[in-house]
Amino acid sequence: MIGITAYGGYIPRLRLLRQAVTEANAWYAPHLCGRQGSRSVANWDEDSVTLAVAAARDCLGAERQHLRGLLLASNTLPFAERLNAGIAAGALRLDESIETLDLCGTPRIGLSAVSQGLARARAGLGHTLVLAADQRQTRAGSTQELDYGDGAAALVLGDGPVLAEWLGSGTVSVDFIDHFRATGATVDYHWEERWVREEGVGRLVPQAIRQALAHAGVAPSAVDHFICPTPFAKLDAQLAQACGLPAGAVVDNLAQSVGDTGTPHALLMLAHTLERAQPGAVVVVAQFGSGAEALVFRVTEAVRAFRPARGVSGWLARGTPERHYSKFLAFKGLLALERGMRGEQDKKTALSTAWRHRSALLGLVGGRCRVSGSVHFPPSRLSLDPGQPLLDTQEPHPLADRAARVLSWSAEYLSWHPAPPHHYGQIDFEGGGRLLMDFTDLDVGEVDTGTAMDLVFRIKDVDDRRGFTRYFWKATPVRNVPSQP
């Protein structure tokens, strides 16, 4: 049996209120006024790689050595020539023998990556982790600024006991251009909406769905959940009607709370659906882009026993309203704020040092002395315990998934920071280890001595001069996760 063996997602904490956007731009774009709801916004220290890592951690448990492949699908990868999937693999502490690959070029590349993962499983190449993430740029005052959102999703594809069995697929590959972005450009160019809706999505997606249902041997009336992200209101319901799918099967596309996250959105909706899907349910997931693609799954009994770390429901509940439009613009790099002299630093990274310490920097792996039991970070050959210096006694000791608490902290405005005040402090890890870390995703007054903290993989800083992003781990307050259905 081939299919999905694990799933997860990630939605950033900040939810920009669309009213804040329309009010700020009412002088220029009054036709957008009245738009309600919110859209997800990545923090300044998040990009498509960190979003993907967060989704992977939501999906994966402690046992990850069974993974033999990692496919990262995104149209907003930070590096054009550096293996972004390799960064994610390092952060997840995956075996260095794993096959990694970046995929891009169309909004449906996430579904294409799932198809590749299924093909790998059929070929006996083991389990594949598929990650999809996007953080798209828009122009101020545009419809896309309101419609888009940031997020990520993760699926593990393989054989054996599966949560959802793959039944069939359908693909339509044509050069239908509804929008495009040239190499070096940051914002997409969009064509006329009615034409895209009727000639593009309305014609091509049903072809892929009919192919997939025929391949699966499933009648349209037997579909229980239909997933097809589209920014056009009620178009998913029209597609369902055109294909003979039950009207009640159409899955909420999260437009009012999250927006359209692009490449990962179909997989994000699928992960959300699997949280509540019952065994035996048939799921059709489709996505448009340079044609269309559709996959058919049947949920199995095993779905009852699996739960992601938070799940899409947990990330949705974790959201906090953001009312500052200028903050959104600054985080997206569309508003240059005064940094002052303290912000004038050369962020050059020594690539040789980054290589030698890659496990510590990407995976947050410390060293535990097998003699004294003390934990050191960064790890080194010398363990400096009081009165007992020892050489070459440290063994790898991962810290990222360990419980941690604040020992001491500070929140200050003196140094330049993209989201002042700059929160940081000493973190004590369960089982030993102490580390001075930056804090992120928190409000003033939210931390104190003893506050429980989670560790998250984020951007440490960006070398604007050379275009290099440096990653490390930060601490964020543990927040209660609502119970899932």
- Same-domain pairing of 368 and 265: no
Query: Is the pLDDT reported for residue 376 higher than 60?
Result: yes
Query: Is the pLDDT reported for residue 60 higher than 90?
Result: yes
The amino acid at 384: L
Per the domain annotation, does 36 fall within a domain? yes
Q: What is the per-residue pLDDT across 276-292, written as a single tens digit (0 to 9) for each?
A: 999 999 999 999 999 99
Q: What is the per-residue pLDDT across 63-121, written as a single tens digit (0 to 9) for each?
A: 898 999 999 999 999 999 999 999 999 999 999 999 999 999 999 999 999 999 999 99
Per the domain annotation, does 126 fall within a domain? yes
- Same-domain pairing of 55 and 180: yes
Per the domain annotation, does 424 fall within a domain? yes
- Same-domain pairing of 114 and 187: yes
- Same-domain pairing of 311 and 365: no
- Same-domain pairing of 115 and 182: yes
Structural domain total, the chain: 2
Mean predicted confidence (pLDDT) in 53-68: 93
- Same-domain pairing of 35 and 156: yes
Per the domain annotation, does 482 fall within a domain? no
Q: Indicate the pLDDT class of residue 485, thresholds 50, 70 and 90.
A: very low
Q: Indicate the pLDDT class of residue 389, thresholds 50, 70 and 90.
A: confident
Per the domain annotation, does 341 fall within a domain? no
Predicted TM-score (pTM) above 0.85: yes
Q: What is the per-residue pLDDT for 200? A: 95
- Same-domain pairing of 372 and 325: no
Per the domain annotation, does 342 fall within a domain? no
Per the domain annotation, does 63 fall within a domain? yes
What's the domain range around 455?
Answer: 358-477
Mean predicted confidence (pLDDT) in 331-349: 87
- Same-domain pairing of 429 and 288: no
Q: Indicate the pLDDT class of residue 484, thresholds 50, 70 and 90.
A: very low
Q: What is the per-residue pLDDT for 282? A: 98
Q: What is the per-residue pLDDT across 240-257, written as a single tens digit (0 to 9) for each?
A: 999 999 999 999 999 999
- Same-domain pairing of 324 and 365: no
- Same-domain pairing of 263 and 226: yes
pLDDT above 70: percentage of residues in the chain: 99
pLDDT above 90: percentage of residues in the chain: 92
Q: What is the per-residue pLDDT for 481? A: 57
Q: What is the mean pLDDT of the chain?
A: 95
Q: What is the CATH number of the domain that holds 209?
A: 3.40.47.10
- Same-domain pairing of 134 and 245: yes
- Same-domain pairing of 198 and 107: yes
Per the domain annotation, does 242 fall within a domain? yes
